[in-house]
Amino acid sequence: MSRYIITGGKPLQGEVSIRGAKNASFKEIIASLLTKETVKLFNVPQISDVKITLSIAKSLGSQIVQTGDHSYEITTANITSSTVPQGTGEKSRTSFMFVAPLLNRTGKAIIPIPGGDKLGNRPLDRLFDCFRQMNIEVEEKANQVIFTSEKIIGTKYSFVKPSHTITEVIIMTAVLAEGQTIIDNAALEPEIDDLILMLNNMGAKIIRNKDDQKQIIIEGVSNLHKTEHTVICDRNEIITFACAALATKGRINILRVKPQVVKSFLETIKTMGADVQSCDDEINIKWVKPLTAINIQTSPEPGFMTDWQAVFSILLTQTVGCSSVIETVFPSRFQHIENLKKMGVKVNFFNPVVENPDEYYQFNQSSDKPEYFHGVKIYGPNKLKPSNFIINDLRAGASTTLAALTAEGKSTIDGVEYIERGYEKLADRLCALGANIEYIKT
C-alpha cells in the first residue's frame, strides 16, 4: 500500500499543464479496436486505468507500441479472444466497454462484472435494454455477462436519464451496425464529443442534431480506418489543481486547457469571490479574499459535475458560512466526508425533500438505500487538523490529499494507488507548486 506523507499549511502557487482526460483516453484506446488499421493516440495520461485498458487490449490481440511518454500506436489486425480476462476486467469499469469492438468484430463478448469505484450500481440495465433492441442477446451470469449477435441492427433508443458511459458504448457499437441508430436524451459531456471526433476521423458517420444536442444520430458503416487523435484535456485535473490553490489561499496558472469545458465550475468560484481570468488555452485562478459559502447540486453536463464535488468540498471547508452539496448522480458519493469530520470539520448530512425522486435523481431508485444521504452541509471556515487516513476511492483520495495540504502539520494517506487510477504523478506536480509531499511507493 503506497503512502503520501504531507506537511500542509503552505499556499500553492505556480503553473501546471493538464494531462489528457482519464474519461476519454481509456475509451479511445478501446475504440481503436474497432479497426484493423493502426490508430495513433497522443496526450494519453500515465495512469493505472490506462495501463489496465492497454493490458486488456493486448490480451484481445492488439499490438501496442509506446512512441512517447504520452503517445501510443495501437494495431488490432485480428481479435484473438472474445473474452475480457477476469482479473483485469474486475479491476476497472473499462472492461464492459470492450463489448463494442468484440461484438462488432467477433459477434461475441464475454465480460466480467465491471469494477472501479464503489459508487453504487452503474446503469448497465439501460445498456442491456438498448442492446436487445439492436439484436444483441444478453445473458447475465454470476460474475460475467455474455453478449452475442449474428448481425447488429441500428435502433432508436431514448434514455430515461442520460448516461455518459453508456452513451459512448452504444455509439461504439452502432458505428458498424446495419442501418441507422438514434440516441435520444443522450449525455452532453465533452469527452463524448471527443470520442465522436475520433470515430468520425476513422470513417464513422456520427452527428449531434443541431436543433437538439441531446440527440445523436449514427449511420452504420461497413468498416473504419486508421487515424491520429489527441485526447482532450482532463476536466477533473483542472478542478483539482484549482481547488488546491484556492483552499490553501494561493494562485495557479493552468495550461493546456479548454476553459469552456469547466464553465460551470469557473462561474461558481467567481460567485464565491475568486479571481478568475481565462483565454483560449489557459486559466489563471487566484485567492484574493475570503470566499463566501455557496450551495451546489451535481448534475449531468452542462451542470456541476459529480466528479468535482469531493475536491470542491475541501474548498467549502475554507469558505465563510454554511455551504451545501447535493449529489444527484450517484446514490452514495460522500465517502470523503468522514475524512473531513476526522479533521475537525463540522458537517450535517441531510436528504433533500423532493416530490418525485425518480425525476430528481439520475441514479436508479432501486440502487438507493435508507442509510444513504444525498446532501451534506459544510460549515466554514475551518482550521483543518492533520491526521492519518486510509483511502479506497479515487475522488476521495484526491480530496483527502487537498485537505492534508490545507491543514497545518503532518498527515499520512495510505492507499494512494487509488489516486493513480486517475491522476498522473499528482504528488510530483503538487510539489512543483510548493507542496511538501513525501511519496512512499510500495
Question: Mean pLDDT across the stretch 281-294?
Answer: 97
> What are the tens digits of pLDDT across the range 395-421?
889 999 999 999 999 999 999 999 999
98: pLDDT strictly greater than 90:
yes
116: pLDDT strictly greater than 60:
no
Do 54 and 202 lie in one domain? The reply is yes
- Grid coordinates of 390: 486510509
Overall number of domains in the chain: 2
Q: How confident is the model at residue 365 (pLDDT cuts 50, 70, 90)?
A: confident
Q: 301, 341, 289, 376: which is closest to 269 by C-alpha?
A: 289
Do 131 and 264 lie in one domain? The reply is no
29: pLDDT strictly greater than 90:
yes
* DSSP H stretches of helix in 273-411: 309-316, 335-342, 357-360, 394-406
Report the run of H or E that residue 103 belongs to, with start and end. helix 99-106
Last-in-domain residue among 195, 211, 230: 230
pLDDT value at position 410? 98
Q: What is the rounded end-to-end Cα distance, in angstroms, of the chain?
A: 6
pLDDT value at position 232? 97
Half-sphere exposure of 20 (CA within 13 A, CB side): 24
Q: Structural domain of residue 314, as residue ranges?
A: 3-19+234-440
Do 239 and 378 lie in one domain? The reply is yes
Angle, CA 184 vertex, CA 160 and CA 189 arms, to 5°:
90
Do 176 and 216 lie in one domain? The reply is yes
Do 302 and 191 lie in one domain? The reply is no
Do 15 and 38 lie in one domain? The reply is no
Rounded alpha-carbon distances, angstroms, from residue 116 to 91, 134, 158, 185: 6, 27, 26, 25
- Contact call for residues 320 and 327 (beta carbons, < 8 A): no
Question: Mean pLDDT across the stretch 354-377?
Answer: 91
Do 406 and 361 lie in one domain? The reply is yes
Do 315 and 216 lie in one domain? The reply is no
pLDDT value at position 118? 42
Do 44 and 122 lie in one domain? The reply is yes
Q: What is the CATH number of the domain that holds 128?
A: 3.65.10.10
Last-in-domain residue among 197, 230, 263: 230
Question: Mean pLDDT across the stretch 103-109?
Answer: 97
Q: How confident is the model at residue 114 (pLDDT cuts 50, 70, 90)?
A: low
Neighbour count for residue 431 (Cβ, 10 Å): 15
pLDDT value at position 91? 67
Do 211 and 266 lie in one domain? The reply is no
Q: How confident is the model at residue 363 (pLDDT cuts 50, 70, 90)?
A: confident
> What are the tens digits of pLDDT across the range 232-275?
999 999 999 999 999 999 999 999 999 999 999 999 999 999 99
- Residue 234 and residue 257: Cα distance in Å, rounded? 8
pLDDT value at position 119? 35
Could you tell me what percent of the chain has a pLDDT over 90? 87
Question: Mean pLDDT across the stretch 294-302?
Answer: 95
Q: 224, 232, 273: which is closest to 256 by C-alpha?
A: 232
pLDDT value at position 117? 41
Contacts of 260 (CB under 8 A, 6+ apart): none
- Grid coordinates of 240: 483539482
Neighbour count for residue 254 (Cβ, 10 Å): 24
Largest CA distance in the chain: 63
Last-in-domain residue among 202, 230, 258: 230
Q: Which residues pair with 38 in a beta bridge?
A: 75
12: pLDDT strictly greater than 50:
yes
Question: Mean pLDDT across the stretch 363-373?
Answer: 89
* DSSP H stretches of helix in 122-189: 124-133, 164-174
> What are the tens digits of pLDDT across the range 187-218?
999 999 999 999 999 999 999 999 999 999 99
Question: Mean pLDDT across the stretch 330-357?
Answer: 94
Average pLDDT, the chain: 94
Q: How confident is the model at residue 88 (pLDDT cuts 50, 70, 90)?
A: confident
Angle, CA 183 vertex, CA 178 and CA 187 arms, to 5°:
135
pLDDT value at position 93? 66
Question: Mean pLDDT across the stretch 159-165?
Answer: 89
Do 286 and 143 lie in one domain? The reply is no
Q: What would the DSSP string read from start to end of 201-262?
A: HTT-EEEEETTEEEEEEEE--S----EEEEPPB-HHHHHHHHHHHHHTT-EEEEES--GGGG
Phi-psi category of 185—alpha, beta or left, where left has phi over 0 and alpha has psi -120 to 50? left
pLDDT value at position 389? 96
Do 213 and 257 lie in one domain? The reply is no
pLDDT value at position 272? 98
Q: 101, 83, 119, 131: which is closest to 36 by C-alpha?
A: 101
